[in-house]
Amino acid sequence: MKILLIHGPNLQLLGRRQPTIYGTADLATINQGLRRLAAARGASLTIVQSNHEGDIVGLIGASKDRYDAVVINPAAYTHTSVAIRDAIEASGVPTIEVHLSNIYAREPFRQHSVIAPVCRGQVCGFGPESYRLGLEAALGLAAPQVPAARRAARKGRRMGG
Ligand code: DQA
């Protein structure tokens, strides 16, 4: 299982940037926890932070056939970037949108995500925990599906059948 995690603009400042909104954990600490979780699940996790819309579009464009799922905090681009939205839609790679803050409880311009409609789901409002929940969701989407017949056989064995 291969997961790509993208941190958008200004997230390199986490820990120092408006800690009452975004918390005190820095990006390196958050990434460390996510790497640990991915390793425990036998997944490979690639993490990139970029302040540039075009770089993010390029990463997503190259994600098809390379990654099983993408987790993205598009940061300010959440509210403006049709280019990132189109890249996600075109890639066809299942994508989870993540935010530290609850964007729906903030300024009106933050309450709309142009990205959300092309994502499989969105996690927001839980601080760094949003990333963990987003990664869990991505691991679930990326996991090879166990065929129903094998699942039923396993259940039968557990029940002594
Ligand atoms: C953010 C919310 C965005 O509105 C903001 O521009 C960010 C961070 C979040 O994680 O809460 O940079 O994506």
Q: Is 10 in the pocket of ligand 1 (CB under 6 A)?
A: yes
CATH number corresponding to 2-158: 3.40.50.9100
Q: Which of 99, 104, 111, 133 for a ligand 1 pocket mutation test, highest count of atoms within 8 Å of Cβ?
A: 99
Ligand 1 pocket member 14 (CB < 6 A): no
Tell me the C-alpha distance between 6 and 24, whole Å: 20
The pLDDT tens digits for 13-40 are: 999 999 999 999 999 999 999 999 999 9
Atom of ligand 1 nearest to the CA of 79: 4
pLDDT at 149: 59
Q: According to the 3-state scheme, what is the secondary structure of the chain?
A: CEEEEEECCCHHHCCCCCHHHHCCCCHHHHHHHHHHHHHHCCCEEEEEECCCHHHHHHHHHCCCCCCCEEEEECHHHHHCCHHHHHHHHHHCCCEEEEECCCHHHCCHHHCCCCCHHHCCEEEECCCCHHHHHHHHHHHHHHCCCCCHHHHHHHHHHHCCC
What is the arithmetic mean of pLDDT over 130-146? Answer: 90
- Model confidence at 161: pLDDT above 90: no
User: Whose Cα sits closest to atom 12 in ligand 1?
Assistant: 75
With cut-offs at 50, 70 and 90, classify the pLDDT of residue 142. Answer: confident
**73 in ligand 1 pocket by Cβ < 6 Å?**
yes
Nearest CA to ligand 1 atom 13: 75
pLDDT at 158 over 90: no
Average pLDDT estimate for 43-72: 97
Find out whether the beta carbon of 100 lies less than 6 Å from any atom of ligand 1. Answer: yes
This prediction's pTM: 0.91
The residues assigned a catalytic role are 22, 99
Domain ranges of the chain: 2-158
